[in-house]
A and B are shown apart, each in its own frame.
Chain A
């Protein structure tokens, strides 16, 4: 293999394992380099198998906390906040522990897609129910997923559909469902929004457990005209109708491309055709098998959660074994904590994660992971330690800058690991 071909191979394999599987476990990158690109594609796509890693993460048991008490609410609020923190820990632990991480990686993607925030929903149980729905459908059929999500309690509460009555339809869910979740901007008119809002009337949500109930009497029972088609619709049939539109295939394909491949290039036109049946696993498989992975332009910045989980995996640290308050504070300061996206548009991407302030919190997190972590992959002769570190963390190649800086730290595996986790080559999936 030529030097260029070898680099392209290292790059493609590093990208696949980082982007679809939260990064390699110790030794995995070196093993995949041996087995080659096709084997890597098959590996990152594995899902739905019995997973002892996930089985080791205890379920977050979140009670239904009921309505906000009018008096003596201290215990209630303590339960809300501790439940929220527990939920975040639970999701991070799953991401780091899973032996077949694609399902949780896709759930994380869908969480950013159906971006619902606990800051308004408040109840951790309701958020967990939504998360589990997204997980169930993470690689299933998108129409089925959309039909579940349009009547999801957290999403309904988040977008003001928790009490949507025929007398005064609320347009928030209707608009965002089409604009941010299924079709994209400028694919519909205000008339379509008004009509869609009517289709979504009659639903109410119990915020504390996310149970959505339908009241026929509060539902707009006449036919509505959306995108030129007139029919009687409820929430589920509305979702099916919108998802059946051709624009939906392109929209979802683009969303996946931007989050998994590149924010600055566009997908090959053929990719959307693999989503004709709305089967998510087909689309993801097509993405993994595309030729995008050796294109130099397709670099991405790891989001704070992806960077954090990747580091935990490599160092065999369970996120909840770190100081949970400090971890969640640092992630919040970096701008990304599960269950709390900044708005319905989801988290930003790319350059947005590269602020000077973020570096400080990244240092704090890396410090705590390295202190607790397993550094045995660096138990090699000093002369081989820098390269061993790249093979361990799944870095295609150190730059001269980073290589020479790391070479000064070979006296201490913990210093070397800490600097490597903070290096541009690890913060970015080049």
Chain B
């Protein structure tokens, strides 16, 4: 069984994004706080939060056609049923690892766009993620869709922010790139030695210049960490996506002038042992989204925020012998927000009428989803960002 690990790091390495990222600004929390004070994002301005799931999330075990006889028969070793699902209609259910999203759906705050991909879907992680992030059908595109949106905005390093240390290609334009905030830059040292280490940050009269510089870098680190500590858990454990989204919700509630955020989670490439792995990942997504929506709903921008959760492809309808699934095509995209009109959008591709590779057909082009977000959230004509594309699927 091939276990091809695909994650964000590899994708970025492959696309050469790290070269572009050199142009990107790494924003300190100080500069974000000061921007929030001096030029806060006006209330009611819409905000987009993209959640990228690297590896190809299995759509059929996320939004589950749990009564479909084909579903039960062709992936009997990983099909979910009974207590493993949270039904919301006679035929569809959320994976039971998603109680928060299921509850939000019950409040009509989750739009499920079904069957999303693009014509002749690529089964390559790299090509397909490049297509999704560039919003062109060429895997050789040189700019991302948010990057091209940035290209036509008045320059401002706060317009779009990626959480992490390297920018995803979606946020790299021809002339502009998003900024970054590194969630890892703020983990405090831990363990019994931790209380001792700040003492190393004091300068000493015997220091040569560079030793004083080394000491100052340590005190700078602790000063920054203190500034950030209300925002992020300072222990090395805890949910990766939860940390990222907790930073984003705090900064949104502080009115940082940012229209687009990107966070991400890797390891969805479940060729083997899918159930336990995917359930854990979806639980991480669900807990992070639940906490994020709670925080946003309690703040002053409750109706401003739309979250989009997507992956580069769904997975094969038929499971494999390793209790996993191989690369597939279309899958649902979830759009979540207090101003989103919840419910099902587009058609669920039939499980008994597959394409020549045994994969789901495509009922929605992802560019239509982007089109709706460009129109409703980023207030930008679709064709200005996605050349010669006009379709827009609105969920607002």
A residues adjacent to B (C-beta < 8 A) = 73-75, 77-78, 81, 119, 264, 296-297, 299-301, 329, 333, 342, 350-351, 354-360, 363, 367, 397, 399-402, 404-405, 408-409, 412, 414-415, 418-419, 422-425, 427-428, 430
Contact = CB atoms under 8 A, between A and B. Distances in A.
A359 B215 contact: no
Contacts of B89: none
Interface string B169-205: 0000000000000101111010111001101101111
30 contacts: A74-B4, A75-B2, A119-B18, A119-B19, A301-B210, A333-B165, A354-B214, A354-B216, A355-B217, A356-B217, A359-B218, A359-B221, A360-B186, A360-B221, A363-B189, A397-B206, A399-B206, A401-B204, A402-B204, A405-B200, A408-B196, A419-B196, A419-B200, A424-B200, A424-B212, A424-B215, A428-B208, A428-B210, A428-B214, A430-B208
A363 B234 CA distance: 14
A399 B187 contact: no
Interface in B1-41: 2, 4-5, 9-10, 13-14, 16, 18-19, 22
Nearest to B185: A357
A356 B220 contact: yes
Contacts of A358: 217
A355 B199 CA distance: 17
Sorted from nearest, which 4 A-B pairs have the closest CB atoms? A356-B221, A399-B204, A424-B214, A401-B204
B211 interface: yes
A74 B204 contact: no
B124 A74 contact: yes
Main secondary structure on chain B at its contact with chain A? Answer: helix
Given A77-B10, A351-B213, A424-B215, A405 B199 contact: yes
B100 interface: no
B221 A357 contact: yes
Contacts of B10: 77, 81
A411 B164 CA distance: 38
Residue from the set B9, B212, B213 with the largest chain A CB neighbour count within 10 Å: B213
Interface residues on B, range: 35 or more
Residue from the set B4, B200, B204 with the largest chain A CB neighbour count within 10 Å: B200
Contacts of B355: none
Nearest to A414: B193
Residue from the set A75, A357, A408, A415 with the largest chain B CB neighbour count within 10 Å: A357
Contact of B185 (A264, A360, A397, A419): A360
B389 interface: no
B81 interface: no
Given A399-B206, A419-B196, A424-B218, 4 more contacts: A119-B13, A333-B165, A425-B211, A427-B214
B14 A77 contact: yes
A415 B185 contact: no
B211 A357 contact: no
